[in-house]
Amino acid sequence: MSGTSVLTKDNVKKKDTTTNFQESDINVLIDSASRVIAPLWPLSTFAARNPWMGLEKQSFEEVAGWLKDTRGIDIYPSASMILSAKRKGEIDQDFVKMGLERWLDSHSFNVPREKAEQFCHAALKLEALPSNLLSSSELEKLADEFRGLNLDSIDNPSIQPISSRIENQDGEKLVNILDHHVIKWSKLYLDESQAGWTMPKREEGFYRAWQRLIQYDPALSKKQRKSLKDWPQEPHMALEKALSELNIPESEIQNYLEGHLLSLPGWAGMMLWRSQQSSHEHALLTEYLAVRISMELVLVKPNLPLTKQQSEKKVSIPSLIASWFQWGNLSIEEWKQLSSAEQNEYLSFAYSFDDKLRRKIWLEAWEQTHADQLSQKLTTKKRKTDSEKSNLAQLAFCIDVRSEPFRRQLEKEGPFETIGIAGFFGLQIATNELGSNHSHPSLPVILKPKHKIKETADEKEFNSYLERKQAVTSLGTTFKAMKQNTLASLLLPELSGPWLTLQMVGRSFVPRSANRFIRNLRQSWLQKPNTNLSLNHEHNKEMEIPIGFTEEEKVNYAHQALKMMGLIENFAPLVVICGHGSQSINNPYAAALECGACGGAAGGFNARVLATLCNLPEVREKLSFEGIEIPRDTVFVAAEHKTTVDELHWIYVPELSEAAQKAFDRIEAVMPKVSDNANKERLAQLPSFQSKVKNPTFEAHRFAEDWSEIRPEWGLARNAAFIIGQRELTEDFDLEGRAFLHNYDWQQDRSGELLGNIIAGPGTVTQWINLQYYASTVASHYYGSGNKATQTVTSGLGVMQGNASDLLSGLPLQSVMESDSEAYHSPLRLLIVIQAPSEYIEKLLNNNPAFLDKVQNGWVRLASVDTDGVWINW
Amino acid sequence: MSVLVSLSTSSLLILFFTLLIASGISGLLFLHPRVPLRYVRIHIGILALPLLVSLLGLFNTSANENVGPWYLDSLAWLMVFFVLAIGLIIQRFSVRYLMGDRSYRKYFTLFTFTTGIASILWLSGDMRLLVIAWGVTFAGLYVLIKLNSGWKVASEAAKVSGRLFTISWLSLVFAMIWLSQATGYWQLSLALANDSLAQLGAWDRTGINLLIVLAVIIPAAQWPFQRWLMESAVVPTPVSAFMHAGLVNAGGIMLTRFSPLFTGEIASIVLLVIASISVLIGSGISLVQVDYKRQLIGSTMGQMGFMLIQCALGAYIAAIIHLILHGLFKATLFLQAGSAVRRYELSPRVTNRSSQLWIMAGRALALFTGVTYWIMAPLEGYQLISALILVWSLSVAWTQLVAFSQGIIGKIVGLSFLGGAAVVYFMMHSLFYEWLSTTVYQSVQPPISVVIVVVCLLLVGIAVGAWVSRNRSSSAYAVLYLWLVRFGEAKPKSVESHPNYLNNIYLKGGNQ
């Protein structure tokens, strides 16, 4: 892309194209080019990923223009989406008019303002030009006069893979064939599902394995195989050789690599992720590009050298003229009467007020409408509630948008105070469940774990638990072993068929009971023993990270979390730390419904760790030195908010004091009603046949346990705002489950450090979640993952569409669309609202250049509510 | 029960067809946009009715009889029940799974019609009816594949399937015309009676049989006609489930129906060779492929090869049992395709001395069982192959369940799984044998040399597998691996890097 290249060109020493350059040079180029893709991690730990994370130094508008020009990808909402939002009253027309005025005022043109306004207003109806007008011969005649007109100084045309300019005999573009090859090699190499026969030579790395195998690949012709037989052993040499044979000038190499990375951004992103995971694969992206471009060379070789073909922006003159007829109300006669200079002006006006710009104005109006509605809620004068009211319990929930409706219902039912905080509670830990070798980094993907916390149990109980667990898994391994044995696989359907049939019939006709039965059977067989957590520090050299915390770390983590929650005084007798988790079956995107702050897993483990820390007498003692006095009869417990069924499941309840017990009983007593109300509100949004659900909680369980359910819940769809402030600001309003809520009291944050931390951590997580939903909605085929029904899980890593495709990175259609034609998610960029005086916001922006970039370049929106309750847009 | 028994076959048939037509009408009704979507639940209810009647038919059939153009025996009712049950389960699954799909209503109509016609297929006693039903079933499947034709790769897959289905259908048409010309009957039972068959010359017999073989190996995706199944991973999951459970196995039933004609000679040798090759290629594909659905497709190819081997060796009932259980097995595996993403967990495998002993003991036990099984009927070709499969299955299962298990609990559980599976297996088999005991089929033993060739082919497959695991770095392995990958891949035309149709069809409206 022209923009990033401009940014990085300084890094690259100018050299003659013919001289071979060093390995480090090509690595620098690859490193720079890799900004256009984002690392992609396995689907089992699906955590939100901002596909444009490397591009935030440019404005949203520039990136949109660049994507449209180079890849034909449109990242503004489609006209139909906009019109449907307008029908639903989500867009206030006045904001569209204001946006238009602003644009007209800021641009100079030589068309009468009145004419221009009329044209723009009509064009903003977003209706297509009638096809009979476009195809009329008269129009063509008129357009002929402008042949060769150049409306735009053509900016650096970006370089597309050469293979995209050539077709084979069947009319198939060579780049498609190249993609097919690259998909095949990538999936075979990256496979983590343990195929029966793994790719030979895989241990030697991607490039080496490919280089050894390609000479035998029957998918290539004999001649092609031969030409690759003596291909270099080293990936960077192969890459250089291929690039030079393709005649790519050095100055355009980065562009060229970017073009290739964007062809299959998912596979390339997975290579990038893997390269960051372990040292022996550190050059994986280079290897990937070496394989890809070497294969390109082989495919296009017969067609070389290509005639230089400058890709020019094609401007359709007829449609520009037609737009004046249609929207500008010009008649042909009037048009003919214009001087040719005037005609030129008209055309260039129509050209600059293009479709992208029109939809940009709409998107901004949509966002402003949303901000306006939110500001009206947040700035109405609250009835002054007694801030010192005594609460029975304080419950801390994740900032996740799904917490808001649940918190609201809970607060309604009793004297409960709820708090919002990122659901990993600031604990930088990897979790290790009982009997599992796999440890999960339970924190936002932008951070690295610093401690490992293991679940432990009494040794005797643990061993017999392991035996029972192993007995269960042995069924699965036996199934797999038989499947991968040619002869045994022939008997497998007859052996397992009756059991599978029983399961299929049960799950089809009594989904709830069948799933419950299977789950209960499993649980009562396993009988997981009571567990403890390895909180105490242990370290030896073999371990990458230590187990547990030192005494000091324990206090620090507890202190930090309490400060983040704003919970440093007025403790209620019961403090509930709530993680959240989801429940769905047969859903490859299950992890997308889990806690994003916990790396795509349920957050109960972290909640338990924090609650345990806060109950430790030594921690409490040290906290009191820091001025945080936790009363003796205050008890911390941990729970998990099950978002699919809106229930609270207790995870860790130590012995309770009398007051705490009272609070606990009260929560238990109101919970059925809270669940019912929360589920009722939520189910109304999920597509269903019933207009009214009689028993919401019952029905919610059906969603959670039905193997055929394609939308077990809406997840974080419709998210639009991140409100950082006190609960009093938002308390009385129905925020429709669209807002992330983080507690923040600027009066306790004189240095602004806390706010900086919130923006850097939870702020980034919410922005990524928001942009992931945005991207998956506006360009489902590229940034989303398409229809769930036609996906296939590949390599145990992710999904492909149909027979094979890019490794698709985003959310499926069913996570953002109500139906094939109706969007559910509103693609709005995240609105961050901070409750603090303006100086705080200024300081935040000054101290945090990355955040300033995001705001200025339109990747997030920023507003604040100051001490007088006045709303300020930044 | 007495009421049921007194139901005469013809009234049962009338009842069945009435309800089948009712479900068809219900399917058509659902196409109308004015019918609310929640009607689909009533539709599912209506679908269950003909299914229940076919169950009655299954328990109520004492003799094989012709009623008009229909031929009724327990095999016919069993297949009707099976096909309709698959249809019902898949449509029940689609109620939620396809929610919001642009072609939501069409899927139900098509599923209803395709399964309805497929069930009629196996009731046909007239060759003309058989040919029509065979063609319409194919057509239904073709439309199902093509339904999402805005997607380039789906219409490409439909093209490939359509072409091969046509060949299969024409092949059956010619076979039936030939048979009726040679015997003078359109009615199946008359044409296949001994007297009629006696009129056939050797050339007629071989010709018709070869045509039938061609007709059945195409839907079974046997080499070299596997292409259509390989390309069809583009269809929605429920359609795949239906395809793999309800259509690929048609060949096994067809051959059972024509067993009196299909008596060991060139045609069955051709079939044996093709099917054995397909078993090897199919299981090879599922070994090397890494996409869940593609592994299942490879496995289907192999399983169908096995079913056809059973037919060619005259083990028709075994083939029917296999195709039904495989259908249910595969349908379940497809429907739960969403569960294929798991947090992987490598359990530490302890291979200590004692587990080595257990493994050896398991192998000895397996060998003993296999030999005993074979000796029970040493002259039947299929018995030898079953014994072979039994040995391998038992030894693999034993290794995993018993030898590798931990502690006493593990061993007990492993043994009881093994025992439980065996008991259910034998119960299922005796149940099916009882049901199908009245079905007319004629099994003729192929020459023992042919059986040995098949056994050798399979053993070579095993040997190659064993060799591969020891010589992973050899170039021979590289060649074999890449060929298997190539067999399992769709052609470039049926692959698209991103599902661009989404961009063109749904999301864009208004002006561009």
B492:A800 CB<8 A: no
Looking at the structure, tell me whether residues A331 and A233 fall in a common domain: no
Per-residue pLDDT of chain B (512 residues; tens, 9 = 90+): 334 444 678 888 999 999 999 999 999 999 999 999 999 999 999 999 999 999 998 887 767 788 888 988 889 999 999 999 999 999 999 999 999 999 999 999 999 999 999 999 999 999 999 999 999 999 999 999 999 888 999 999 999 999 999 999 999 999 999 999 999 999 998 998 888 888 888 888 999 999 999 999 999 999 999 999 999 999 999 999 999 998 899 999 999 999 988 876 788 889 999 999 999 999 999 999 999 999 999 999 999 999 999 999 888 999 999 999 999 999 999 999 998 876 555 555 555 677 888 889 999 999 999 999 999 888 788 888 899 999 999 999 998 888 888 788 888 989 999 999 999 999 999 999 888 887 767 777 777 888 888 888 888 888 887 888 788 888 889 999 999 999 999 998 899 999 988 886 554 433 33
One-letter amino acid of A577: I
Looking at the structure, tell me whether residues A418 and A565 fall in a common domain: yes
pTM, whole model, 2 decimals? 0.94
CB A197 within 8 A of CB B468: yes
Looking at the structure, tell me whether residues A211 and A287 fall in a common domain: yes
Looking at the structure, tell me whether residues A578 and A655 fall in a common domain: yes
Q: Tokens 């068809």 — which residue?
A: B24
* Phi, psi values for residue A741, rounded to 5°: -120, 125
Give the minimum alpha-carbon distance from A78 to chain B in angstroms, rounded to a whole number.
5
| Cross-chain CB nearest to A489 (options B37, B283, B338) | B283
Whether the upstream peptide bond of residue B224 has omega within 30° of 0, thus cis, is: yes
Identify the pLDDT of residue A325.
Answer: 86
Give the minimum alpha-carbon distance from A196 to chain B in angstroms, rounded to a whole number.
4
Looking at the structure, tell me whether residues A196 and A298 fall in a common domain: yes
pLDDT digits (tens, 9 = 90+) for A683-731: 999 998 877 778 999 999 999 999 999 999 999 999 999 999 999 899 8
Nearest CA in chain B to A478: B400
Q: In chain A, how many domains are there?
A: 4
Nearest CA in chain B to A179: B497
Give the minimum alpha-carbon distance from A144 to chain B in angstroms, rounded to a whole number.
22
Looking at the structure, tell me whether residues A229 and A297 fall in a common domain: yes
* Residue A861 covered by a domain: no
Give the mean pLDDT of A224-245.
Answer: 92
Nearest CA in chain B to A510: B92
B100:A193 CB<8 A: no
- The CA distance from B152 to A790, in Å, is 14
pLDDT digits (tens, 9 = 90+) for A431-452: 999 988 888 999 998 889 999 9
Q: Is A398 annotated as belonging to a binding site?
A: yes
pLDDT digits (tens, 9 = 90+) for A511-542: 999 999 999 999 999 999 999 999 999 877 77
Identify the pLDDT of residue A388.
Answer: 54
- The CA distance from B504 to A724, in Å, is 39
* Residue A342 covered by a domain: yes
* Phi, psi values for residue A650, rounded to 5°: -75, 140
B507:A706 CB<8 A: no
* Residue A222 covered by a domain: yes
**For the CA atoms of chain B, what is the radius of gyration?**
24
The secondary structure of residue A246, as a DSSP letter, is T
Give the mean pLDDT of A842-853.
Answer: 94
pLDDT digits (tens, 9 = 90+) for A101-123: 999 999 888 888 888 899 999 99
Domain hosting A688: range is 390-455+533-713
* Residue A267 covered by a domain: yes
Is the pLDDT higher at A742 or at A334?
A742
Looking at the structure, tell me whether residues A488 and A601 fall in a common domain: no
Q: What Cα–Cα distance (Å) separates residue A291 from each residue in A231, A239, B87?
A: 11, 8, 45
Identify the pLDDT of residue A235.
Answer: 93
* Residue A470 covered by a domain: yes
Looking at the structure, tell me whether residues A191 and A122 fall in a common domain: no
Identify the pLDDT of residue A3.
Answer: 40
* Residue at which a domain ends, from A254, A280, A303: A303
Cα maximum dimension of chain B? 77
Give the minimum alpha-carbon distance from A672 to chain B in angstroms, rounded to a whole number.
27
CB A94 within 8 A of CB A74: no
CB A2 within 8 A of CB A66: yes
* Residue A739 covered by a domain: no
Give the mean pLDDT of A608-612.
Answer: 96
Nearest CA in chain B to A813: B502
Identify the pLDDT of residue A16.
Answer: 40
Looking at the structure, tell me whether residues A576 and A449 fall in a common domain: yes
Identify the pLDDT of residue A2.
Answer: 40
The secondary structure of residue A712, as a DSSP letter, is S
Contacts of A255 (CB under 8 A, 6+ apart): A1, A2, A5, A156, A158, A159
pLDDT digits (tens, 9 = 90+) for B261-314: 887 678 888 999 999 999 999 999 999 999 999 999 999 999 999 999 999 988
Judge whether residue A7 has pLDDT over 80.
no
Identify the pLDDT of residue B510.
Answer: 35
Looking at the structure, tell me whether residues A215 and A332 fall in a common domain: no
A471:B404 CB<8 A: no
Looking at the structure, tell me whether residues A125 and A187 fall in a common domain: no
Give the mean pLDDT of A324-345.
Answer: 85
- The CA distance from B86 to B92, in Å, is 10
* Residue A732 covered by a domain: no
DSSP character string of B67-132: ETTEEE-HHHHHHHHHHHHHHHHHHHHHHHHTTT-TTHHHHHHHHHHHHHHHHHHTTB-BHHHHHH
- The CA distance from A377 to B124, in Å, is 70
Looking at the structure, tell me whether residues A257 and A272 fall in a common domain: yes
Identify the pLDDT of residue A308.
Answer: 59
Band (pLDDT 50/70/90 cuts) for residue A10 is very low
* Residue at which a domain ends, from A526, A547, A571: A526
Identify the pLDDT of residue B7.
Answer: 60
A180:B492 CB<8 A: yes
pLDDT digits (tens, 9 = 90+) for A39-85: 998 888 888 889 999 899 999 999 999 998 888 899 999 999 999 99
Identify the pLDDT of residue A86.
Answer: 94
B388:A127 CB<8 A: no
B388 touches chain A (CB under 8 A): yes
* Residue A872 covered by a domain: no
Chain A to chain B, count of Cβ pairs less than 8 Å apart?
A: 395
Give the minimum alpha-carbon distance from B417 to chain A in angstroms, rounded to a whole number.
8
A471:B413 CB<8 A: yes
Question: Hey, what are A108's tokens?
Answer: 């100079």
Nearest CA in chain B to A794: B291
Residues 130-159 of B with CB under 8 A from A: 148, 151, 153-154, 157
Lowest mean pLDDT across A172-186, A222-236, A328-342, A766-780: A328-342
- Beta-bridge partners for A430: A441, A452
Q: Give the DSSP H or E segment for A403.
A: helix A403-412
The pLDDT mean for chain A works out to 89
Band (pLDDT 50/70/90 cuts) for residue A149 is low
B396:A187 CB<8 A: no
Lowest mean pLDDT across A21-30, A501-510, B146-155, B265-274: A21-30
**Rounded to 5, what percent of chain B is helix, strand, coil?**
75, 0, 20
B373 touches chain A (CB under 8 A): no
CB atoms inside a 10 Å sphere around CB B124? 20
Identify the pLDDT of residue A133.
Answer: 81
Identify the pLDDT of residue A136.
Answer: 81
Question: Hey, what are B315's tokens?
Answer: 């083990």
* Residue at which a domain ends, from A713, A733, A757: A713
pLDDT digits (tens, 9 = 90+) for A120-140: 999 999 988 888 888 888 888
Identify the pLDDT of residue B347.
Answer: 53
Give the minimum alpha-carbon distance from A816 to chain B in angstroms, rounded to a whole number.
12
Q: Is A595 annotated as belonging to a binding site?
A: yes
Provide the residue count of chain B: 512
Identify the pLDDT of residue B64.
Answer: 76
Is the pLDDT higher at A147 or at B423?
B423
B93:A708 CB<8 A: yes
Percentage of chain A surpassing pLDDT 70?
94
Nearest CA in chain B to A790: B236
Band (pLDDT 50/70/90 cuts) for residue A314 is low
A197:B400 CB<8 A: no
Give the mean pLDDT of A606-623.
Answer: 95
